[in-house]
């Protein structure tokens, strides 16, 4: 009984921490973008402007939560919830440290891939239910992008799975005690990173949102807290991809002994979050056909070759 309560407490704490991190990322991103663009960013509310997010939250809660008359109401309301739910569920398989983590699934990676595929529904349904040209265009772009990048996102992880011999995230982390998988699986890491950016639809792959072309893409019609959920969902997505890169390629919680494992995990994760923000600060958006041809003509063959070579080497080493 006590154990169950402790477990529930841990799950809730993880969820709360993740949402707080995602909200804090909004501030972090604005500050870091400003730093890289020789500006200051939000620096008025609270020390270094940390409370800017709180102020924005208060504002967004009191905003009119408007549903357009022409929208498909039920779907319109459900869509933003899907993105939060799928991403938060994906976090269930992330092992934050040897003792912290929600579940220890033996199909961990598959669960994540399934959940991120479901996340595409959020974009599609939001765009469809908005009943608006720009939203629909954004949704179509989003679904095409997410489905095509889904393919080799999964394939790029198979190298890691071949090396470990397991889909379990904890096994994958423990298999990296000798050397982090970023070294034997460098190609896989690069492909997963690019696919991860596309999956989180961040710049340079933020084509479904594309402010300068599509107003705000699939969430043009959203306001108030529903828009807030899309917004936080995007940052949760960044956190998720960063956490997964850390777990799969950079040894998860593994590190030197002078810091506890969770701290190592967070350091690596925030490092990748900063890389995401740096990419946004420096790269322009791709054109849509460029994105598609990059995916299908370069990254997909590359990930297949990666699997072949990794598999061949592992077979050769095991049968010698």
- Choose one: 49-57, 205-213, 263-271, 280-288; the region binding other proteins (CB under 8 A): 280-288
Task: Assess 293 for contact with other proteins (CB under 8 A).
Answer: no
Q: How many CB atoms lie within 10 A of CB 244?
A: 27
Task: Assess 289 for contact with other proteins (CB under 8 A).
Answer: no
Nearest-approach distance from CB 39 to other proteins, in angstroms: 5
Task: Assess 35 for contact with other proteins (CB under 8 A).
Answer: yes
Measured between alpha carbons, how far is 154 from 110 in angstroms, rounded to an integer?
A: 8
Nearest-approach distance from CB 116 to other proteins, in angstroms: 25
Measured between alpha carbons, how far is 52 from 54 in angstroms, rounded to an integer?
A: 5
Nearest-approach distance from CB 37 to other proteins, in angstroms: 7
- Choose one: 14-22, 121-129, 141-149, 273-281; the region binding other proteins (CB under 8 A): 273-281
Measured between alpha carbons, how far is 122 from 234 in angstroms, rounded to an integer?
A: 11
Task: Assess 37 for contact with other proteins (CB under 8 A).
Answer: yes
Task: Assess 38 for contact with other proteins (CB under 8 A).
Answer: yes
Q: Within its chain, how far is the Cα of 252 from the centroid?
A: 16
Nearest-approach distance from CB 205 to other proteins, in angstroms: 13
Nearest-approach distance from CB 74 to other proteins, in angstroms: 43
Phi/psi for 318 (5° steps) reads: -75, -30
- Nearer to other proteins (CB atom), residue 174 or residue 279: 279
User: Between the CA atoms of 151, 282, 269 and 217, what dihedral angle is there, to the nearest 10 degrees?
Assistant: -50
Q: 118: burial class by Cβ within 10 Å (0-12, 13-18, 19+)? A: middle
**Binding residue (CB under 8 A) for other proteins from 8, 20, 40, 260:** 40
Nearest-approach distance from CB 54 to other proteins, in angstroms: 22
Task: Assess 3 for contact with other proteins (CB under 8 A).
Answer: no
Q: For the chain, what's the residue count?
A: 320
Task: Assess 36 for contact with other proteins (CB under 8 A).
Answer: yes
Distances (CA, A) of 289 to 99, 257, 295: 45, 48, 10
* Residue 201: half-sphere exposure toward Cβ, Cα within 13 Å: 31
Task: Assess 282 for contact with other proteins (CB under 8 A).
Answer: yes
Nearest-approach distance from CB 306 to other proteins, in angstroms: 18
| Touching other proteins, residues 157-186 (CB under 8 A) | none
Size of the site for other proteins (CB under 8 A): 12
- Nearer to other proteins (CB atom), residue 64 or residue 289: 289
Inter-residue contact 69 to 129 (CB < 8 Å): no
Q: Is the peptide bond before 25 cis (omega within 30 degrees of 0)?
A: no
* Rg of the Cα atoms in the chain: 20
- Nearer to other proteins (CB atom), residue 57 or residue 279: 279
* Residues within the interface to other proteins (CB under 8 A): 34-40, 278-279, 281-283
């Amino acid at each position: 009984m006590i154990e169950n309560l402790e477990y529930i407490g841990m799950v809730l704490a993880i969820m709360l921490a993740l949402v707080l991190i995602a909200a804090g990322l909004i501030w972090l991103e604005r500050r870091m973008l400003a730093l890289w663009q020789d500006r200051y960013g939000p620096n008025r509310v609270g020390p270094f402007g940390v409370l800017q997010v709180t102020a924005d939250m208060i504002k967004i809660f009191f905003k009119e939560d408007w549903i357009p008359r022409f929208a498909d109401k039920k779907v319109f309301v459900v869509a933003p919830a899907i993105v939060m739910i799928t991403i938060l569920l994906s976090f269930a398989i992330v092992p934050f440290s040897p003792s912290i983590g929600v579940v220890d699934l033996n199909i961990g990676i598959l669960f994540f891939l399934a959940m991120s595929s479901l996340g595409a529904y959020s974009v599609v349904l939001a765009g469809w239910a908005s009943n608006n040209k720009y939203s629909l265009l954004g949704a179509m772009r989003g679904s095409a992008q997410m489905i095509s990048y889904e393919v080799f996102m999964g394939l790029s992880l198979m190298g890691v799975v071949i090396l470990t011999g397991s889909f379990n995230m904890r096994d994958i982390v423990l298999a990296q005690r000798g050397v982090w998988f970023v070294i034997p699986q460098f190609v896989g890491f690069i492909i997963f990173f690019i696919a991860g950016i596309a999956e989180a639809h961040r710049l340079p792959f933020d084509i479904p949102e594309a402010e300068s072309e599509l107003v705000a893409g699939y969430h043009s019609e959203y306001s108030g807290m529903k828009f807030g959920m899309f917004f936080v969902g995007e940052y949760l997505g960044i956190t998720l991809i960063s956490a997964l890169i850390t777990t799969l390629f950079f040894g998860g919680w593994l590190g030197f002994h002078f810091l506890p494992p969770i701290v190592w995990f967070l350091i690596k994760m925030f490092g990748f979050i900063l890389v995401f923000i740096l990419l946004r600060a420096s790269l322009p958006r791709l054109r849509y056909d460029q994105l598609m041809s990059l995916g299908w003509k370069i990254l997909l063959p590359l990930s297949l070759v990666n699997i072949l070579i990794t598999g061949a080497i592992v077979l050769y080493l095991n049968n010698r």
